[in-house]
Chain A
Amino acid sequence: MTASTSVAEAQGPAAAKPDRFSDLRRRVRDAARTLFGTPLNALITLACIYMVWRAVLVACDWLFLRAVFVGGPQDCEVAQGACWPFVTAKLRFILFGTYPYDEQWRMALSLVIFFAVVCASMLPHLWRRWLAAVWLVTILVLSLLMWGGVFGLRYVPPLQWSGLPLSVMLSFTGLVLGFPVGVLLALARTGPLPAIRSFAILFIEIIRGLPLVTILVMAAIILPLFMYSGESAGRLLRVQVAIILFAGAYIAETVRGGLQAVPREQYEAAQCLGLRYWQMMGLVVIPQALKIAIPALVIIVIGFFQDTALVTVVGLLDVLSTVRAAIQDPNWDGVVTIDGYLLAGVIYFVISFGLGTYGRFIERRTRVAGF
């Protein structure tokens, strides 16, 4: 393979115009060789084709041919396929949960604004100072929409926030506020002060050693047992704080990796220039460290979006819980298990896959920009 491509490259400049047709033919020939070159390969290829074909058949059959498009639970119970009426009937509940029905447009609007601003901030050429101002305004507008209580909007207590907006909020706030926590912890762990360093090590290692479930259970269920007399009013807040601290510990380790990868000369040069500790870190070291840490940070972001599904365990209605509630609705009970979880899977897949694709793009970009 390598030999043939290098030969082709060597001949490239000689042939004045690369012939598109012959290029295509060469590619087809290469593909045919890798697919059917040896008996084993041919066998594998045929097996794969058969598997894909079967999967496509089964999927089409289930999604369309045998599916129910109009009707109710009774029709779905008889049919052997997907139950589309369930999706149309329950999609709104799955997305917005127990948020007051008449006010759900506020949630929808919040989601649209949020995703629009996120998508805009993903474009590198919009990374300017005014983006921070845009974010401040956005957060203000979003909290206004979610809480209400002013401008004639009805007040909606946080306990009724649920569905996709809750999942997005928990992970986004957790990451955004966990980030400074993580950077500070990383600095403390690599810093020169032994007492603070050991505190940071203790904190990070305990949090990272425990599963998120136990931390959530502690924050949501155990803490109120011996801290407050009031119940569950602050449960969302406690869970959010737990997620922030959890994210902080993981981000700290990633950032520490970046800090250690910054060459020692950078630190020394900054010190020679007479910069103080915070100037050295803020102006020279941290920007480079974060750039190095970007790929690992993207993995953390995707992981955290998925990890917020765990709040189901402590009784918050995130998008996975609303799906479960919809599935277990007495009208639909036992009919739509597969449909419901597939729908939840699609929601998670679309968001995670988008983030992952963006992560690969940004990684390539920072690598090209050259460090």
Chain B
Amino acid sequence: MRTFGVSWLSEPGIRAFFYQLIALAALALFGAYLFATVSTKLAQQNIQTGFGFLSHEAGFVISQSFIDYKPTDTYADAIAAGIVNTLVVSGVGISLASLLGMIVGIARLSTNVLLASLARVYVEVIRCVPLLLYLFFIYGLILASLPAANNAWEIAPHVFLSNRGIAIPKLHWTFGDSWIAFSIATGILFVVAIGYILRKRRTGGDAYRCLTPVLLALLATIAIAILILHPAAAIDLPMRSRFRITGGVQLTPEFTALVFGLALSTSAGIAEIIRSGMLAVGKGQSEAAQSLGLRRSQTLRLVIIPQAIRVIVPPLTSSYLTLFKNSSLAIAIGYPDFVMVSNMALTQNGQAVEIVVIMVLVYLGVSTAISLLMNWYNRKVVLSR
């Protein structure tokens, strides 16, 4: 390749090598500068380094926690409580957003012009206003406009809405209950496995008929298990007392506002994803299905949805990921999610570098986990056509 009279510097491979060398050197220099500045600064302020602080006592209060946490616990416990809070709020938000989004998406596809345009207005309005505004608005609304706890609204049986948040029934859990839950879970897994094997054998419509006796047998087993093991699970219902609501799970206004804000703002995107997924399946498909004599519900279940799912899953994953990341807006209204707890830890002990590392690792970890899971599901859906 090398021609005489041309400098070896102009040979593409060598030039590429030099470019990369220069880039790496610049990066290394920048890193070294950062390291030097940070370590002198930390030494000046007498801040210790390393992850030893995780086992020290945290000493701050977390206003709502789904795992047991008290101020005398360690930093590691506090951060774990923050992570669980983030996961719970994202999980509830994702389910609510999916439900809302599905309803609105289907409404947008309706042949009823009025319903479709109402759904469209909903999507446009939701999309054009930032999530943070919804959070402040809902939070302000809960605090300012809802009744005090002693005359809370009962929006559903034993679900109370007041300016102290939402109170919902709580399930008391014992050891025996775990066994029952375990047996039920095993049974469901069993049924799913049988259904999968039957479908693999392509026994067609008969497969589902075979499932009925299996299901009945399973129900009988569960009934027997419950009879023998005497479930001690009791439902703790919230009650309206004179000054406040007692019992049940009390969800703070911050949690409520965050869940509803996240669900609202994500539902518009999900509605659009579902709509475009359904529209992406060609008209010919449903016409062909109808000419085969399939009913409308069958067309939807056997022809349209399996194909639409493939279009829907990838963007749905990214909107779930967005919701998960957006849950960090919790810090604006004071719900103790992972970011807020980390921030509290940081202001207390000043170990910024370590906490930033933990933040990056946790967020990247969960993001990667969600996208791996959805990619796996996507691959499965794509292959099974």
Contact = CB atoms under 8 A, between A and B. Distances in A.
Given A193-B20, A309-B133, A334-B144, A209 B364 contact: yes
Interface in A287-325: 302, 306-307, 309-310, 312-313, 320, 324
Given A44-B112, A45-B114, A320-B133, A199 B23 contact: yes
Nearest to A313: B332
B332 A349 contact: no
A356 B328 contact: no
A352 B128 contact: yes
B contact face: mostly helix, strand, loop, or mixed: helix
B325 A210 contact: yes
B149 to A, nearest CB: 18
B140 A226 contact: no
B348 interface: no
Contacts of B363: 209-211, 214
Interface in B126-163: 127-133, 136-137, 140-141, 144-145
Given A226-B353, A313-B332, A337-B141, A48 B132 contact: no
A329 to B, nearest CB: 14
Given A195-B24, A196-B20, A344-B133, A310 B329 contact: yes
Interface in B298-346: 325-329, 331-332, 339, 343, 346
Contacts of B129: 306, 345, 348-349, 352
A199 B31 CA distance: 13
Interface string B15-35: 010011001100100000000
Interface stretch (B37-45, B62-70, B185-193, B273-281): B37-45
A48 to B, nearest CB: 5
A141 interface: no
A5 to B, nearest CB: 13
Nearest to B24: A195
A155 interface: no
B216 interface: no
A273 B169 CA distance: 73
A166 B124 CA distance: 25
B20 A213 contact: no
Given A196-B23, A210-B363, A349-B128, A324 B136 contact: yes
B265 to A, nearest CB: 9
Interface string A215-229: 001100110011100
Using C-beta atoms within 8 Å of the partner chain, give the interface range for chain A: 35 or more
Contacts of B359: 210, 214
Nearest to A31: B113
B111 interface: yes
Interface in A170-222: 192-196, 199, 205-206, 209-214, 217-218, 221-222
Contacts of A212: 325
A196 B19 contact: yes
Contacts of B130: 306-307, 309, 320, 348
Given A221-B343, A222-B355, A338-B140, 19 more contacts: A41-B111, A195-B24, A196-B19, A209-B360, A210-B363, A226-B38, A226-B352, A306-B129, A312-B332, A320-B136, A327-B140, A337-B140, A338-B141, A338-B144, A341-B136, A349-B125, A349-B128, A352-B129, A353-B128
29 contacts: A34-B112, A44-B114, A48-B114, A192-B16, A195-B24, A196-B20, A196-B23, A206-B364, A210-B363, A210-B364, A211-B325, A211-B326, A211-B363, A213-B329, A214-B339, A217-B331, A222-B352, A222-B356, A226-B353, A227-B37, A227-B38, A306-B129, A312-B132, A312-B332, A338-B137, A341-B140, A345-B137, A348-B130, A352-B129
Interface of A: 31, 34-35, 41, 44-45, 48-49, 51-52, 192-196, 199, 205-206, 209-214, 217-218, 221-222, 225-227, 302, 306-307, 309-310, 312-313, 320, 324, 327, 334, 337-338, 341, 344-345, 348-349, 352-353, 356
